[in-house]
Amino acid sequence: MTDLISPDFTFSQSNLQTFDYCRRRFYLRYVKKLIWPAQLVSDQQYIQDREAGVRFHRLVHQHFLGFEASLLRKIADGDPDIRVATWFETFLASPMATLQGKLEPEALFTTKIAGHPLSAKVDLLQIDGENISIYDWKTSRHLPKLSTLQKQTQSKVYPLVISRALNLGQPGYETARLRMIYWEANFPGQTIEIPSYQNDWKKYQLEIAASIELILSLRREEFVATPDEKKCAWCEYRSYCQREKIAVDSKDIEMTDLLEGLTKIPAEAFDSWG
């Protein structure tokens, strides 16, 4: 173990995904906390998409807080991006709008893995009798493949954290099931569901604990840059690492993603600096 990572460092799906993506990027972003505000993508579209996605998420959150749909429709209609109103109307017309049971929107859960906090902020947790579901609202331009989503750290971290927060790994819950549900506002009829059970959570735990332990064991120089230099085209540290010079278009990234089934770029990588 090195002392690069402080004992209170909180792991999450996004920083673990970043580590998978490029160890050096993890080091620069989360350990060195280096602010390096070069462009991630060369166009404004991706930023507009993300901002519209954030506003859509807020409307859905407000829906689950109990606001009248008519009032929220007026807010959605007032949004400068017309897609937000369309997405919200699609949501209201879907079964997602009338989910039953105990509903916890935008809830943060934390557990401890390998001695470190591991947190998951879920869009919605539904506990309806024995049915427990984690919902994730998406506004992607292209429908991701099930295999891509299954490989994502999010699909493992969220069920693991929730299963531990709800004590589902204990004896007596052998048949317990968690559903991770990805609902795409642009593809409402094609909900992707990833169920998981006790055996899966044990597997996820081993996998994530191994990742965390690996991170904890690395020395500074062992956080090496990814050998796949194509990935540097959409990394803000590319000039710091003296790799690429110019950012690529966000559409190229999505196409690359779809065609080659590459690991998805961590969404938080697109957060603006500041």
Partner 1 sequence: MTGILPQTPDETQRNTTDYVDFPSLFLSGPASSGKTSASLLRLQNILENPQESTLILVPQRSLAEPFHQFLRELGIAEGDQVSIQTMSSLVRRMISLFWPIIASHQVFEHPYEEPRFLTLETSQYYMAKIVDPMIDQGRFNNITLPLNRLYSQIIDNLNKSALVGFPHTEIGQRLSSAFIGEAARQNVFSDVQNAVDQFRGYCLQNNLVDYSLQVELFCNILWSNQTFQKYITNQYDHLIYDNSEEDPPYVHNIIAQWLPSLKSTLIIHDDQAGYRSFLGADPISSLTLEKLCQQSLVTTRNYVSSEPIQELRDCLRDLKNCQPTQGLIDKTIGFPEKRLCFFPELLEEVTHEIEVIRALPGGDQKKIAILTPYISDSLRFSLSHSLETIGVQVSIQKPSSSLTQDPVIKTLIILSKFAHPTWEIRVSYLDAAVALTNAIEGLDLNRAHLLLGDFDQHNPYLTALPEGVPSERIPSDLIERYTGLRDWLLSSDPAEPLHSFLSRLFGEVLSQAGFRFEGNTQSGTSTAVLMESFRKFSISLDRSLQENQNLASQAFIKAIDSGLISALYLSEWEVQPNNSVLIAPVMSYLMRNEPVDYQFWLNIGSQGWYERLEQPLTHPIVLSRNWQTGKQWTADDELAYNQANLQRTISGLLLRCREKVFAFTSDYNEAGVEERGQLLTVFQNLFRKALRSKNGR
Please give the residue ranges that form the binding site for partner 1 (CB under 8 A). 6-8, 10, 34-39, 44, 55, 58, 61-62, 65-67, 71-72, 74-75, 77-80, 108-110, 112, 115-117, 119, 236, 238-240, 242, 245-247, 272-274
For residues 185 and 90, is the Cβ–Cβ distance under 8 A?
Answer: yes
Closest distance between partner 1 and the C-beta of residue 111, in Å? Answer: 9
Q: Rounded distance, CA 121 to CA 192, Å?
A: 19
Nearer to partner 1, 71 or 261 (CB): 71
Closest distance between partner 1 and the C-beta of residue 189, in Å? Answer: 28
Q: Rounded distance, CA 197 to CA 177, Å?
A: 5
Nearer to partner 1, 3 or 260 (CB): 3
For residues 238 and 2, is the Cβ–Cβ distance under 8 A?
Answer: no
Helix axes 69-77, 82-93, angle to 10 degrees: 160
DSSP string, 187-198: STT--EEEEEEH
Closest distance between partner 1 and the C-beta of residue 221, in Å? Answer: 16
Q: Rounded distance, CA 144 to CA 247, Å?
A: 23
Closest distance between partner 1 and the C-beta of residue 29, in Å? Answer: 12
Nearer to partner 1, 191 or 239 (CB): 239
Nearer to partner 1, 187 or 240 (CB): 240
Closest distance between partner 1 and the C-beta of residue 245, in Å? Answer: 6
Q: Rounded distance, CA 194 to CA 179, Å?
A: 6
What are phi and psi for residue 139, nearest 5 degrees? -130, 40
In the Cβ-directed half-sphere of 199, how many Cα atoms lie within 13 Å?
2
Closest distance between partner 1 and the C-beta of residue 102, in Å? Answer: 11
Nearer to partner 1, 106 or 136 (CB): 106
Nearer to partner 1, 108 or 210 (CB): 108
